[in-house]
Amino acid sequence: MSVRRIRAYVAQLGLLAVLGLVAALLVTAAPRLANGYADQGLRADVARLPHLVRDVSIAVERQPDESTAAGGQYSLDRYADALPQPLPTLVGPRWYAAGLHEEKLTATGDDPPMDGGAVKMVGLRAQTGVQEATEVVAGRWPATPEGGPAELAVSRALAERLSLRPGTRLRLTGPTGVAQAQVVGVFEPIDADDPVWDDLATALEPIVPLEDGDPYVTRAVTDWVGLDSVASASGVPPVYSWRYRVDENRLTSSTLEQVTAAVAETRRTEWLPGSTVQSSLDFALVRFAGQLNAVRTLLAIVQAGLIASLLGLILLAARLVVQRRRDELALLRARGASLGAIGRRTLAEALPVQPVAVLAGAVIGSRLPGRTDGVPWPVLLLAVLTTAAVPVLAMLTGRRVGTVTRRTDLARQRPSLRRLTVEASVVVLAVAGVLLLRRRGLDPAGGVDAYLSSVPVLVAVAAAVVAIRLLPWPLGLAGRLAGRARGALLFLGVARAGRGAPVALGPLAVLIVAVSTGVFGGVVTTTVAAARDRATSLTVPADALLTGYAFAPDAGAGLAEVAGVEAVARLWVDSNRRLLSDEGPGARQLGQARVLVLDVPAFAEVVARSGVDVDVPAALRAAGRGDGPVPAVVSPRVAAAVGAAGVADVQGRLYGFEVAAVAEAFPGVGLGVERFVVLPWQALPEYEYTPIIPNQYLLAGDDIDQEQLLGVADDAQRRRQAAVLGTEVTRPQLPASVQTWAAYREGLDRSGANEVLTLAFTAGAVGGTVLAVLAVGFAVVADAGGRGRMLSRLRTLGLSAAHGRRLLVYELVPLVLVAAVTGAVVGAGLPRILGPTLGLSAFAPGVPIRDHLDPVVVGGVLALVVLGLLAGLVAENLVNRRMRLGEVLRLGEENG
C-alpha cells in the first residue's frame, strides 16, 4: 500500500526528496571544498615564502679548532627526529653546512691579481648537496689535502667578475691571521632555483660596488677540510647550521595550530650551548590562520543562510503536502484513525524516499575534491528532518478536524498571542546575538557556536518579521489609491496582497534570508576587492613598476622609447635611512625611516595616463629647487619624531625637509610602513658627478613590450656599474624586473585563503538566487487553490488569461519587492553590523577596510526581482494547466 501511495504522491514527495538532496549536498560539499581550497592556499603560500622564513635552521658558532666541520653532518637526521611533533613527519629536504661569514674575511691575490681595486669580502661555505647540484665547467671539485692550501670552487659569474680561474691563489685575511687558498674549479648551478642555493645567493651573483668605496661581497665553496684550515689560520669562527625544509605538500589546514606550536617550541629550545634557531614559519602560519578563520566565518554565515533557506523550503514543502492531503487526513480522522496512525501512514511513505535522497546528496558531495573532517552529523539530522517533517505536520494538523470549510479570503488573518511571542523572541534573539557577536567574535578554530553562527540568519528572519508586520499599512494605503484607478486588476491584486494571500511569513522569511545571504556575500567580496585595489595602487601606482639595483641617471630617456610606454617617472626608495634633527654637527639622531625620492611632475603624468586611483599632493607637485628645506610628506610616527622639520639621508647625502603633509600611506612606499619620508626629486639639489641614482621607474602604457623594457633597463644598469667600477660589465648586479598593476592585483587574488572566499561568494550568490526563486514559486503554489477559484469567478466576468497573469504580478510585486529590498538592506548592513568580527582586514593587509557596495550587486537585486516575478508566472502556468480553471468552482469544496 505504501508503494501505491508513493506513486500517487510522487510529485510532492519528489519535491521534498530533491530539497533534501540539495541540502545534504550543500552541507557535505561546502566544508569539503573549503578544506581542499584552504589546503591549496596554504601550500601555495608556504611555497612562496623565502627560505629564511619557511625553513627551520639550527645554527651555532664555534671557535676555530674547537671541533671539525665534517662532524656536524652526522647530526642532521638526529636533530630532524628530535623536532617537536608533527615536524618530523613534515620535514622534506635537509642540509648541513659550515660557513665563514664574508664580513670577517677579505681576499687578495697576485697570481694573477684579481680584477678591480675594491675590497673583496669573500665568505666560505661547505654544504651537503652542493656538489650534486653543480656542473663543473673548469677544473675540478675541491678536495683539500691535509696541511695544504684550502681548495675553492667559484661560480662562473664570480670568476668572470673577479678574473678568477683554476690555479688562482688567494690570501684570505681574518681577524688574527691569513689563510692560503687556491681556486681549483669553476661551476654553474644545474638549477639556480634549487633550494640548496638559498644560502649561496652571493656565490652565484656577487654583490658589486654601487658607489666608490663599496666592497665586493661574495662567497666561494670549499670542502670540510678546507673550511677548517681557513678558520684555524684566519681566526674566523665557523658557523655550523642544520637546515630543515617543511614540505608544503604534506601540510593541511587542519594541522595549522599544531605546526605553529611545534615551530615556536623549536625556536625556544636550546639544541646546543649557544645555538640559535631561525624560522618565521609560525608567524606566516598565524597570518594564514587569521585569513582562514575569517573566511571560514564568512562561509559559516553564508552556509547558515543557505541551510536556513533550504530548511524553510523543506518545511514549506511539507506544509504544502499536508494541505493538499487535508481532505484525506480529515476523512481518516473521521473514520477513527488516531494521530499516531496518521503519523505512521505518512512515515511509511517518507521512509523509502527521503533518507535515500539525503544519502545520495551526501555521496555526491563526498565525491567532490577536498577533505572531510569528522562524522557528517548534519547529514543524519537532515535525513531525520526531511523524513519526519510531513508526519509531524500531519499529526499537528489532524488534532482539529473541521466538517465545514470556511472562506479564508474574506477576513484578514490576525496573529495569535503565541505567534506574536515567538516573533518578538526572534527579534530579541537577533539583537542580543549581534551584541554578543561583536563582543566575543566568531572563531571557527575554537569550535562552532550554533547560536553565534546563526545570528546573521536571525537578523534576516527578524527583518522578515518586522516587514510582515509593517507591510499591511502601505498596502492598505495602496489599495485605497488603486480603488480610484480604472480597472479592477490593480485593486484586486493589491487587496489580495494586503490580506496576506501570497505574503505569508514562511515564504517571505525564506526569500529575505536567501536574498540577504547572496547580497552579504556580494558586499563582502566587493569590499575585499576594493581594499585590494587600494593595496595594489599603493604598491604599484602605475601600469607597471620597473625595479633594479641601480640605473644610469639618463635611463628614463631610453625607457620612454620602449614600445607601449607612454610616460615614465623615476624614483629612488630605500629603507633604514638616517633621520636627523638638523644638518649641524650637534644634530640628534631621530631613528631610521624608509625614504622615497619621487619625480612628482612625471609621477602625476604617469598616474593620469595609467588611471590609477591615487592622489598626488599639491605641496609636492608645486615644489621647486631652492636654497631652503624642501616640502615632504611623512608618516605620523616620523612627524611625531621630527616635528615641523628634519633631515633625511639620501644615498649618503643629507637633505633638509619641512613637513608639508602627514599621511598614513603613500603610493610607492609600500604597505605597512610606519616610518617614511617622501621627498620631491625636482626640488633636491644635484651635482654633475654625484647625481641621485634611481632604482625604480613607474611606467604608463597599455601594452608595454616587457622583453624590450627589461633589455633597455639592464643595459642602463650595466652602464651605471661600469662607470662605478671603471671596467666593462657583462651582466647587471640585479637583473631588472617588472611588476604590472594587473599582475600584482591578480597575485593578491591567488594568495592565502582567497579560493575559500570565492567559494563563499559563489555559494551565496548562486544559492541565494536559486532559493529566492524557489521561495517565490512556493508562495504561488501554496495559494494555487484560492487563486484558481478567484480566477474561475473572474473568467465568468470576462477576465482573459493575460489579465490573470497581470493580476498575479500585482500580487507578487509586494512580496518580491519587499523581500528584495529588505534582504538587500540586511545583506549590505551585516558587514557593518558585525564589524571586526568578520576579520576582513586579513584579506588586504596594510590598508583599511571600508564597506563597498558595488553597483553590480544592486543590479543583481533588481534582476532578482524580475527573475522572481518570472518564476511566479511559470509556476502559475504549470499549476493552472493541471487545475483546469473552468472546473474549479464545481469541483472545489469551498463555495461562496
Give the separation between CA 107 and CA 104, rounded to whole angstroms.
10
Cβ atoms of residues 612 and 542 within 8 Å? yes
Q: Is the pLDDT of residue 537 over 80?
A: yes
In this predicted model, what pLDDT tens digit does every residue of 115-172 receive, in sequence order? 556 788 889 999 999 999 999 999 999 999 888 899 999 999 888 888 888 988 988 8
Instruction: Give the residue with greater pLDDT, 892 vs 167.
Output: 167
pLDDT at 127: 93
Give the separation between CA 274 and CA 271, rounded to whole angstroms.
9
Q: Is the pLDDT of residue 894 over 50?
A: no
Q: What is the mean pLDDT of residues 536-557?
A: 90
Cell 508586520 belongs to residue:
469
Instruction: Give the residue with greater pLDDT, 327 vs 375.
Output: 327
Maximum distance among all Cα pairs of the chain, rounded to whole angstroms: 118
In this predicted model, what pLDDT tens digit does every residue of 719-748 receive, in sequence order? 887 877 777 777 776 788 999 998 888 888
In this predicted model, what pLDDT tens digit does every residue of 614-632 receive, in sequence order? 888 888 887 877 767 889 9
Q: Is the pLDDT of residue 66 over 80?
A: no
pLDDT at 696: 92
Sequence-distant (6+) residues with CB within 8 A of 252 are 35, 39, 42, 371
Sequence-distant (6+) residues with CB within 8 A of 612 are 537, 541, 542, 543, 667, 741
For 830, phi then psi, to 5°, come to: -60, -45
Chain center to CA of 533: 13
Q: What is the mean pLDDT of residues 752-772?
A: 78
Sequence-distant (6+) residues with CB within 8 A of 52 are 278, 280
**Percent of the chain whose predicted confidence (pLDDT) is above 90:** 16
**How do strand 55-61 and strand 276-278 relate by DSSP bridges?**
antiparallel
Q: What is the mean pLDDT of residues 386-413?
A: 67
Q: Is the pLDDT of residue 444 over 60?
A: no
Q: What is the mean pLDDT of residues 550-559?
A: 88
Sequence-distant (6+) residues with CB within 8 A of 368 are 29, 32, 33, 36
From the DSSP assignment, how many helices (H) and strands (E) are in the chain?
Answer: 31, 20
Grid cell listed for 383 = 535525513
Give the separation between CA 231 and CA 98, rounded to whole angstroms.
10
In this predicted model, what pLDDT tens digit does every residue of 16-63 receive, in sequence order? 888 888 888 888 888 888 888 888 888 888 988 898 898 999 999 887
Name the strand (E) or helix (H) holding 243: strand 239-246
Q: Is the pLDDT of residue 794 over 80?
A: no
pLDDT at 9: 65
Give the separation between CA 809 and CA 877, rounded to whole angstroms.
13
Grid cell listed for 48 = 612562496
pLDDT at 112: 47
Which stretches of 9-66 are DSSP H helices?
A: 10-48, 51-54
Cβ atoms of residues 221 and 122 within 8 Å? no
User: Which DSSP category does 252 fall into?
Assistant: -
For 826, phi then psi, to 5°, come to: -65, -45
Residue type, 520: F
Chain center to CA of 660: 36
Q: Which of 100, 370, 115 is nearest to 229 (CA)?
A: 100
Most confident of 202-206, 349-353, 747-751, 883-887: 202-206
Q: Is the pLDDT of residue 396 over 90?
A: no
Name the strand (E) or helix (H) holding 781: helix 754-782
pLDDT-derived band at 380, boundaries 50, 70, 90? confident
Grid cell listed for 889 = 468552482
Q: Is the pLDDT of residue 382 over 70?
A: yes
**How do strand 567-580 and strand 589-598 relate by DSSP bridges?**
antiparallel
User: Which DSSP category does 73 fall into?
Assistant: G
pLDDT averaged over the chain?
A: 81
Cα of first residue to Cα of last residue in the chain, in angstroms, is 37
pLDDT-derived band at 813, boundaries 50, 70, 90? confident
pLDDT at 262: 93
Grid cell listed for 433 = 546575538
CA distances from 417 to 136, 261, 280, 423 (A): 90, 55, 61, 10
Q: Is 183 left (phi over 0), alpha (psi -120 to 50) or beta?
A: beta
Angle at 782 between CA 463 and CA 858, to 5 degrees: 40
Q: What is the mean pLDDT of residues 572-592?
A: 83
Q: What is the mean pLDDT of residues 238-258?
A: 90
pLDDT at 785: 63
User: Which DSSP category does 207 fall into?
Assistant: B
CA distances from 515 to 389, 621, 782, 817, 826 (A): 25, 48, 20, 11, 9
Q: What is the mean pLDDT of residues 493-517?
A: 68
Q: What is the mean pLDDT of residues 263-273?
A: 89
SS3 873: helix
pLDDT at 596: 92
Q: Is the pLDDT of residue 182 over 60?
A: yes
Most confident of 69-78, 333-342, 403-412, 753-762: 69-78
User: Which DSSP category does 659 fall into?
Assistant: E
Chain center to CA of 399: 53
Pick from 59-68, 473-482, 554-563, 812-821: least confident? 473-482
